[in-house]
């Protein structure tokens, strides 16, 4: 009896499949505790499997395949996604836990990837076609009919998404979508072309220009049986189960995209999707224990019993304005969260979750004439966010899926990525619309995302999963898209980090181009139906306060109510919407005339190689460790093949763009040690990437005080999906690239930056602040030779208004800029700024090199590294100046370096003789395989090592 009780404790969890829910009646059985098997279609493979999991992961665990990310496995393992896979489990352990009382049973899948046929006891349950939906099925009658122990299997059979896509796109009612280079290069976007638009599945599963095509399948999220005892003569009252919940906090009278009355009270709206075993008229009570506030019992609409779908009920509670502390992004205030408890009677069901009080508004209305005249703003529409009624600068990056196989992502991995964004000064992450709806907790989503954003104070620009394509509007797709969007908007509503809902990625520009093609108006009308009308109405049916935009990059709208898109209907000279920039000509990387003059730039980037350490994780032969080796180039998907050709025939183009950038702006790597040369090439591509992105961020931040009033810069991209060429600032393992340290400098609240216009030889030095309060401080500009001799120093006191900049130097002509007697290859300027924020001294630094480092007269820096306790290192230049002095931490370690004086992330700096730098490596012990790295395994390098061992 004791053993059986222990087993039950392992298998049963609380109702609603979350640990913060209690119930007097319903119980939840975790399907991960069953023994699963996985078979391919012809039965030649039959192995143990797991839930949540995906076929590739189970095959790897069983030793059938090697790690999918190894070598060229993205090519050699294509057979997996060209097969059908079936998961089967004997549910006897679940049946053994059921007592003899009458009860109702619901089978719930929080995610199925993707085309699945479900049977229970050899009886059909459902067919599913949407990876992004939660599915719940009443299987009471099926279970009651199972009396044979041989027919107790739960089976989920997955059809190859590839072959399904080929078939469904050939349906008689499937229209032919434009797929040509004339419409945003659609042919080149994918490895598996032409089918993803017809499948509600992660778009990047079919390949992207930064990742592989594995087209996985499996029960990729948690799944459960939920049992509800029914009313009998021995048990009074119905059982209630919460299938879905939505908690939204907004100001009274608030509508999306319009600034609410700040003095209005808060409205707490709780919506629940309920199932009951018999008819019930429940009441709800809403409480905030920390605020000592509770609602009276709120009468809800009746819930019928025994239904096959949930009944949605809502209750509201008013919280007086001024009572709760407001939630802010971490760099603007305290991300204050509160517990909210919801109780239902009868049934004894209650749950507690975290939420926060804030208003977040995306303003896109025209700038008022008086503001245009008073501030000198270029006329047109606004495009910026406000938090609690105040405009602010959004600094951040874009995220992609954390792994090609969703089921093996972990909260620890995701937390590190988000923490790294916060440490680098970011206050917003954009969740790219070709990936996934990020989860809220592990119990339903494998890992946690939004709660971490809430806790750490970083906003989440969220998107519906549509990306880089025209989309069909067939009824069979709309019928599954609607509940997909409703479920995810409801779930995410409670998170104060939620910033907006964009309906997709880059599609507005695609349809504008398609409009000039044959039958173009037809595609434009379909876009208007889907993105202006249908998705807009679905999203706003579930939220009262969060803005909806049709696309990540948009020209905005002509009318908010009714919602009518602007497209290209604007006045010449005015500014509308937001922008992107991708330019792979490295000769114009620092040419400001090629940067968009925009209200907001939500994508801009340049690709780079991962580090030597990341390549060691996946390259299998010494012959592969070369910049243009076959395997390395095969993992450069920029531009993508556009078909199943392997290796990517377009990979050399992406390699060439990185190579040209390095040769133009840095010493060309080449030493007697081939591994060092390869490592320096990898690192040098990262240096150029950082230089180019920091230049753009500085320009866009400067725009906050210019006529464009730019209030947002989101770099493409933050994280990696594998070890390959990408735009990321953090590698797949969690290792920071040079760019991430660069972002920690340029995303600081107060920065100094030299804007150099080579064509006119104009040097302008600005101090830029994104603080709400005016900032005062002192800037120092010092010229040095590459030998480390200081030539002159200039100090300037400055004052910067709120969200603005201050010009502290403007000089034209190299003869007037350079120290006398020196040319541009012999000297550089170091710029430092010191200011006080909230009684704390903050610093920032930048470097101006009047010539490319490719032609600069560098000197051997002779770097001396002295290690101290706690992985602390002091670096000294005993020769000349070390340009881009860089410390690498050993393989198997994850963490970052910070300056022990400023406590700011620091790496990739200019190490000047006589100005030692002491940094400490802070190890992430949860992710690091090497828990006790030897200080001697840390490697130091600089630009000098590109050409010297």
> Are 577 and 360 within 8 A, CB to CB?
no
User: Strand, helix or coil at 937?
Assistant: helix
Task: Give me the active site residues, please.
Answer: 506
Antiparallel, parallel or unpaired: β 498-502 and 459-463: parallel
Cα dihedral: 866, 867, 868, 874 (round 10): 50
Cα dihedral: 202, 718, 220, 635 (round 10): 70
Residue 345 vs residues 242, 276, 309, 350, 396: alpha-carbon distances, Å: 13, 12, 20, 9, 44
Query: Side by side, which strands form the sheet with 863-867?
Result: 863-867, 872-877, 917-923, 895-899
Antiparallel, parallel or unpaired: β 311-319 and 790-800: unpaired
Distance between CA 798 and CA 698 in Å, rounded? 18
Report the chain's terminal Cα–Cα distance, integer Å: 70
Residue partners of 195: CB distance under 8 A and separation at least 6: 162, 165, 166, 168, 169, 206
Distance between CA 407 and CA 53 in Å, rounded? 5
> Can you say whether the dihedral through the CA atoms of 96, 100, 101, 105 is positive or negative?
positive
> Are 366 and 558 within 8 A, CB to CB?
no
> Are 353 and 20 within 8 A, CB to CB?
yes
Q: Name all contacts of 628-635 with Cβ < 8 Å and 24+ positions apart.
A: 628/652, 628/655, 631/71, 631/72, 634/72, 634/75, 635/212, 635/722, 635/723, 635/724, 635/725
Q: What are phi and psi of 141, to 5 degrees?
A: -70, -35
Q: Which two tokens stand for residue 215?
A: 């087209």
DSSP states along 188-219: GG-SS-S-GGGSBS-GGGEEETTEEE----B-
Distance between CA 584 and CA 542 in Å, rounded? 41
Distance between CA 425 and CA 471 in Å, rounded? 36
Neighbouring-strand partners of residue 733:
none
Burial of 6 (0-12, 13-18, 19+ CB in 10 A): exposed
Distance between CA 664 and CA 852 in Å, rounded? 7
Distance between CA 196 and CA 841 in Å, rounded? 52
Antiparallel, parallel or unpaired: β 917-923 and 116-120: unpaired
Distance between CA 355 and CA 439 in Å, rounded? 15
Q: Tokens 């429940």, residue?
A: 282
Q: Tokens 């992330």, residue?
A: 905
> Are 923 and 894 within 8 A, CB to CB?
yes
Residue 182 CA neighbour count, 13 Å, CB half: 10
How many C-beta atoms lie closer than 10 Å to residue 738's C-beta? 25
Q: What are the b/e assignments for 720-732, b being 16+ CB within 10 Å?
A: bbbbbbbbbbbbb
Residue partners of 185: CB distance under 8 A and separation at least 6: 639
């Amino acid at each position: 009896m004791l053993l059986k009780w222990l087993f039950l404790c392992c298998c049963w969890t609380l109702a609603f499949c979350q640990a913060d829910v209690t119930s007097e009646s319903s119980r939840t059985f975790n399907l991960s505790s069953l023994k699963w098997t996985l078979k391919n279609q012809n039965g030649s493979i039959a192995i143990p499997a797991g839930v949540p999991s995906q076929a590739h992961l189970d095959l790897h665990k069983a030793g059938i395949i090697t790690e999918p990310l190894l070598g060229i496995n993205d090519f050699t393992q294509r057979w997996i996604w060209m097969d059908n896979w079936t998961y089967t489990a004997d549910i006897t352990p679940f049946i053994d836990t059921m007592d003899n009382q009458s009860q109702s049973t619901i089978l719930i899948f929080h995610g199925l990837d993707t085309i699945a046929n479900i049977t229970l006891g050899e009886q059909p349950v459902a067919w599913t076609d949407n990876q992004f939906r939660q599915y719940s099925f009443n299987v009471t009658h099926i279970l009651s009919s199972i009396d044979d122990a041989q027919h107790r299997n739960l089976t989920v059979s997955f059809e190859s998404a590839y072959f399904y896509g080929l078939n469904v796109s050939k349906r008689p009612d499937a229209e032919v979508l434009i797929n040509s280079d004339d419409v945003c290069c659609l042919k080149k976007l994918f490895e598996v072309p032409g089918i993803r638009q017809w499948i509600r599945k992660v778009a990047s599963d079919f390949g992207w220009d930064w990742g592989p095509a594995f087209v996985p399948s499996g029960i990729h999220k948690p799944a459960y049986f939920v049992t509800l005892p029914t009313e009998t003569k021995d048990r009074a009252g119905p059982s209630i189960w919460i299938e879905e919940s939505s908690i939204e906090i907004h100001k009274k009278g608030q509508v999306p995209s319009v600034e609410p009355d700040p003095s209005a009270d808060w409205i707490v709206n709780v919506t629940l999707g309920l199932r009951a075993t018999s008819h019930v008229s429940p009441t709800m009570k809403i409480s905030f224990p920390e605020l000592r506030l509770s609602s009276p019992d709120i009468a809800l609409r009746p819930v019928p019993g025994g239904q096959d779908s949930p009944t949605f009920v809502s209750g509201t509670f008013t919280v007086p304005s001024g009572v709760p502390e407001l939630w802010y992004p971490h760099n603007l205030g305290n991300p204050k969260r509160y517990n909210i408890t919801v109780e239902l009677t009868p049934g004894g069901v209650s749950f507690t979750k975290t939420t926060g009080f804030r208003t977040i508004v995306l303003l896109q209305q025209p700038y008022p004439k008086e503001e245009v005249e008073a501030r000198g703003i270029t006329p047109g529409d606004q495009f910026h966010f406000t938090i609690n009624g105040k405009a602010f600068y959004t600094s951040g990056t874009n995220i992609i899926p954390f792994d090609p196989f969703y089921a093996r992502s972990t909260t620890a991995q995701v937390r590190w990525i988000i923490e790294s964004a916060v440490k680098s000064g970011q206050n917003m992450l954009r969740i790219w619309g070709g990936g996934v709806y990020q989860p809220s907790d592990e119990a339903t989503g494998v890992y946690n995302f939004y709660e971490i954003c809430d806790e750490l104070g970083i906003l989440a620009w969220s998107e519906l999963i549509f990306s880089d394509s025209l989309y069909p509007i067939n009824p069979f797709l709309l019928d599954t898209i609607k509940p997909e969007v409703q479920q995810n908007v409801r779930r995410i509503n409670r998170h104060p980090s939620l910033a907006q809902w964009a309906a997709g990625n880059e599609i507005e520009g695609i349809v504008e181009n398609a409009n000039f093609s044959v039958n173009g108006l037809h595609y434009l009308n379909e876009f208007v139906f889907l993105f202006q009308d249908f998705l807009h109405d679905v999203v706003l049916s579930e939220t009262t306060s969060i803005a909806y935009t049709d696309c990540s990059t948009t020209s905005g709208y002509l009318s908010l109510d009714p919602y009518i898109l602007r497209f290209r209907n604007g006045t010449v000279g005015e500014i509308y919407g937001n922008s992107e920039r991708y330019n792979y000509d490295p000769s114009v990387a620092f040419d400001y005339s090629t940067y968009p003059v925009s209200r907001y730039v939500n994508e801009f980037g340049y690709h780079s190689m991962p580090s030597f350490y990341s390549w060691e994780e996946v390259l299998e032969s010494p012959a592969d460790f070369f910049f243009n080796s076959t395997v390395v180039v095969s993992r450069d998907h920029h531009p993508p093949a556009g078909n199943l050709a392997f290796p990517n025939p377009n990979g050399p183009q992406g390699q060439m763009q990185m190579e040209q950038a390095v040769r133009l702006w840095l010493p060309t790597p080449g030493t007697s040690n081939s591994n060092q040369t390869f490592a320096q090439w990898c690192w040098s591509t990262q240096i150029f990437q950082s230089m180019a992105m920091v230049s753009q961020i500085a320009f866009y931040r400067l725009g906050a005080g210019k006529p464009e009033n730019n209030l947002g810069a989101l770099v493409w991209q933050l994280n990696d999906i594998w070890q390959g060429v990408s735009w990321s600032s953090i590698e797949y393992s969690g290792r920071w690239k040079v760019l991430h340290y660069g972002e920690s400098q340029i995303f600081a609240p107060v920065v100094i930056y030299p804007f150099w216009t080579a064509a006119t030889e104009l040097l302008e030095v600005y101090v830029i602040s994104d603080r709400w309060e005016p900032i005062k401080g002192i800037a120092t500009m010092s010229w040095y030779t590459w030998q480390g001799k200081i030539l002159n120093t200039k100090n300037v006191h400055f004052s910067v208004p709120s969200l603005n900049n201050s010009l502290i130097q403007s000089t034209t002509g190299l003869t007037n800029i350079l120290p006398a007697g020196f040319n541009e290859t012999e000297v550089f300027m170091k710029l430092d700024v010191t200011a006080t924020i909230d009684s704390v001294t903050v610093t920032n630094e930048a470097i101006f090199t009047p010539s490319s480092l490719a032609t600069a007269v560098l000197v051997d820096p002779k770097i001396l590294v002295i290690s101290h306790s706690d992985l602390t290192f002091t670096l000294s230049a005993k020769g000349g100046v070390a340009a881009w002095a860089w410390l690498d931490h050993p393989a198997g370690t994850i963490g970052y370096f910070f300056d022990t004086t400023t406590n700011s992330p620091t790496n990739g700096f200019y190490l000047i003789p006589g100005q030692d730098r002491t940094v400490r490596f802070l190890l992430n012990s949860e992710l690091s395989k090497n828990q006790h790295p030897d200080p001697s395994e840390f490697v130091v390098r600089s630009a000098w090592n590109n050409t010297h061992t």
